[in-house]
Structure 1
């Protein structure tokens, strides 16, 4: 039985020192005061990170190389960086690419490590708020198309970003009825339209402030609708490129447990419709349009703490507990508690990653 001896972790929202965490069959079986005579640890044990929107890692952009081999490389790279659960994201693309990506994830999930399924960001978006998405593939959904898509996905599609102002209510309701997390994004919805969408059951918002109607003092837009709602969540990219650190700061103060981190990370790619080129700390398309980030989840957490005046516990929850809750995995993922999967990260005093444990096994670099 593996035991993490004499470690520190957050328990009941309080930093608790000198604990022994026992693990049995990949599950945390007990957490109790340490009886070890070892020197007190200065390391912090936190849950493994959960990223609900990432396009690739390890040099592999999934949509450009939708193979089992590339997905395995993405999984291993993310595990070594502390992401123990993720949704691989697919941007607006051709039907052929969508089908190939869905087919690959379906085949992979029975033996998957940290891949939890697919997040489809498009193609049912508003052409007025495309960001880096390819306009010729964007369209309004039909109910028959959604039914066929979910049938083909066979449970692999866990999340979908749509622009609700251009979709029929029966499309949105069908997604919700079939346990797909629906996210409002790439949308030009008014405040009233966005509020109505959240009231109908849309749970969250894709990369807050990016590719959406903005806040204006006479046209409050989507961000204000999120802030004013009592349930709607939102993801945010904390790289100071997509969103200013100061805007992240006030957004977290307003949203609290309703705001969570994503990387929206991509990799260099010179083929297909999404040719990402790294410029400094960001990625751009050939025409200079800002595309995905170069973040890791750990860097996102550090940015929250160091640049956005967000408490360390809150920043960690934004990368663990809150996204797990959104996708309904909070009974097994995202926390350090008895009965949870032993997906654990060891961070040093400066919050640098020193070790990763996945389902009770230490991951070697």
Structure 2
């Protein structure tokens, strides 16, 4: 059982910034944050040389990484490559995401996450099904032929086969019956409103059913307009509902990120929405230097890491570093129900950290 004390660092706990303190870890769980002169006996001391440390990042929407797109390759090596990509950006926990596809492909994805875990693979919180229960009017880069309205039978089957793996689902609430939405929520699925053309009234009603979050604010959703506030307006005007946002300056202008942050506060969090270049499978992503598109030019994914998301928030949207770090860890963690809580440096939380310098470059990632 390894007892470790991390010290000589600026600690961003997720609540405040601490200096002159040490993080005590026992068996991969944080025991507490104490003064450096209060470290007890039996701890291996790790000197971080004046660097900064924060809770490791959490990405609730990523499709692949390091040149491997999971839905195109459908193997555990693609999951491992995605995990390594996440680690390079300070992220230790991610929701492996599959965009709209056949139900057979989604079921394959579920089985492969199970295999990856059985092989000792780390980092995967579960599978995020982005689709197929979306609004064709807001399909974005998704496959129109696979978009459909859900049935109780099909959703029941997915829940049964996806037990322990299927953790998140992006749906257009206006194409789903209330019964379906309630069934997903009752089964512990994180339901996210997205790829939706919902009116303000439709979206507000869906949030009232318990949908806790929305997918990539502004992208593939009904816009905020003077006479129809749409899904964006419903998100803005809700006291509790969260939303992810893709902070690359391409999916969303940085001014829109800044304005949304002012309105939403701690309800807004970062995702990378990152894909990988591929010429195989249903989604052909072409790398365009700072983004990915389909061959026809449709925006289809980002080239972000989570640390780049934090950096963009600070440098281009005027978000304080402490807050940008929370948008990459504490806030997405609030949607999760994990055995050991994530996203803060506090007693009882998982000892998963990102270490970085003043230029916001990842220097180390500490994980179990």
TM superposition score category, shorter chain reference: over 0.9
Q: Is 1:336 matched with 2:345?
A: yes
Change (3 A) 1:267 1:355: same
Q: Is 1:160 matched with 2:197?
A: no
In structure 1, which of residues 13, 31, 40 is the aligned counterpart of residue 15 of structure 2? 13
How far apart are residue 155 of structure 1 and its match?
Answer: 1.9
In structure 1, which of residues 328, 351, 362 is the aligned counterpart of residue 360 of structure 2? 351
In structure 1, which of residues 254, 259, 267 is the aligned counterpart of residue 276 of structure 2? 267
How many residue pairs match? The answer is: 359
TM-score, normalisation: structure 2: 0.94
User: Do 2:248 and 2:304's aligned partners in 1 also have CA atoms closer than 8 Å?
Assistant: yes
CA distance in 1, matches of 2:13, 2:287: 40
Partner of residue 129, structure 2: 120
Structure 2: give runs of 5+ residues left out of the alignment.
40-44
Q: Is 1:233 matched with 2:242?
A: yes
Structure 1: give runs of 5+ residues left out of the alignment.
360-365
User: Do 1:233 and 1:258's aligned partners in 2 also have CA atoms closer than 8 Å?
Assistant: yes
How far apart are residue 39 of structure 1 and its match?
Answer: 9.5
Spell out the pairing of 1:195-344 with structure 2 (5 A cutoff): 195-329=204-338, 332-344=341-353
How far apart are residue 95 of structure 1 and its match?
Answer: 2.6
Q: Is 1:51 matched with 2:53?
A: no
CA distance in 2, matches of 1:325, 1:38: 29
User: Do 1:18 and 1:41's aligned partners in 2 also have CA atoms closer than 8 Å?
Assistant: no
How far apart are residue 12 of structure 1 and its match?
Answer: 7.0
CA distance in 2, matches of 1:164, 1:27: 38
Change (3 A) 1:269 1:344: same
How far apart are residue 38 of structure 1 and its match?
Answer: 11
In structure 2, which of residues 21, 26, 29 is the aligned counterpart of residue 27 of structure 1? 29
Query: Where in structure 1 do 4 or more consecutive aligned residues deviate above 2 Å?
Result: 10-14, 35-42, 106-112, 328-331
How far apart are residue 76 of structure 1 and its match?
Answer: 2.6
TM-score, normalisation: structure 1: 0.95
Q: Is 1:91 matched with 2:91?
A: no
